[in-house]
Amino acid sequence: MTQTSHTLFDHLLELRTRLLKALLSVLVIFCSMIYFANDIYEYVSKPLLATMPEGGQMIATDVASSFFAPFKLTIVLAVFIAMPYILYQLWSFIAPGLYRKEKRLIAPLMFGSTFLFYSGIAFSYFVVFPLVFSFFTSVAPAGVTIATDISSYLDFVLKLFFAFGIAFEIPIAIILMCWTGFTDPQSLRKKRPYIVVGAFVIGMLLTPPDIISQTLLAIPMLILFEVGVFIAAMQFGDTNDEDIDDADRTD
């Protein structure tokens, strides 16, 4: 009993150490960027400013929003940048309890999830934002001056960053589901029509109410679904759970 309690206490101490290291990495990155907070916000706002008509500008409706909006963006950006190190701390904590075969799979999954999350953010910024903001500014009624509040704009872009970042994790989710035996590539292929409908429904829920951003989220999700199924089929095959168990016994 004493040995078990001591082991659990050691794990809790290690978890606390890993969490503190992760938080410290975010704090260090944040402190190194806070001086450039306004420049960072200006860069993030470029897709909107580029589509505004002549004379259009952003405004700050609250007294403190001109300070808190760049401050909030810098915090979120620090978390994004520190994500590989945060995942490394997570990996270091769980790795001792994994089998060798599991370690070979988890490490690429963590790298792939980070890369896909960054890719989703980049896709939303460089592809989606220019198209969406061009659409919004083009449908403004005559006589309406476009002057977007900086806090509202930040909430909007962060929502899309997270939506596209999470949506781009579909291949990782598929691989994990096939690895755990929850499903298999063959079953996922049979459900393809439902996946298509679901992708557009998710695009409708996670993006602004315009067909452009919904489609720009749904199409990458469908492509990434096919990529995930392809990788899962290469890694695990299209066999059912009983076939996999028999193969493991043979090995």
Average pLDDT value for the chain: 82
At residue 245, does pLDDT exceed 50? no
- Classified as helix, coil or strand, 57 is strand
The verdict on residue 242 lying in a domain is no
Q: What is the pLDDT of residue 96?
A: 75
State whether the Cα torsion 132-133-137-140 is positive or negative.
Answer: positive
Residue 3 covered by a domain:
no
H or E element that contains 141: none
> How far apart, in whole angstroms, are the C-alpha atoms of residue 229 and residue 236?
10
181: left (phi > 0), else alpha (psi -120 to 50), else beta? Answer: left
d(CA 118, CA 103): 23
**For residue 187, is it within any domain?**
yes
Of the given ranges (48-52, 160-164, 178-182, 205-209), which has the lowest mean pLDDT?
205-209
pLDDT tens column, 48-93: 888 877 766 788 888 788 889 999 999 999 999 998 898 888 888 8
Q: Is residue 23 in some structural domain?
A: yes
pLDDT digits (tens, 9 = 90+) for 94-118: 877 777 777 777 778 888 888 999 9
Residue 246 maps to a domain: no
User: Confidence class of residue 44 from pLDDT cuts 50, 70 and 90?
Assistant: very high
Joined tokens for residue 165: 């970042």
Q: Can you tell me whether residue 214 is helix, strand or coil?
A: helix
Distances from the Cα of 50 to the Cα of 54, 87, 107, angstroms: 10, 35, 40
Give CA 155 to chain center in angstroms.
Answer: 16
DSSP state of 36: G
What pTM does this model have? 0.79
Does residue 21 lie in a domain region?
yes
Band (143; pLDDT cuts 50, 70, 90): low
What is the number of domains present in the chain? Answer: 1
Q: What are phi and psi of 181, to 5 degrees?
A: 85, 10
pLDDT of residue 72: 93
Give the domain range for residue 28.
Answer: 9-237
What integer is the mean pLDDT of 130-154? 80
Which helix or strand (DSSP H or E) is residue 245 part of? helix 241-250
> Residue 66 has which token pair?
């001109």
* Of the candidates 249, 121, 234, 222, the residue with the CA atom closest to the CA atom of residue 185: 234
pLDDT on residue 238:
64
pLDDT at 82: 92
Domain contains 58:
yes
Let me know if residue 225 belongs to a domain: yes
Cα–Cα dist 242/84, whole Å: 36
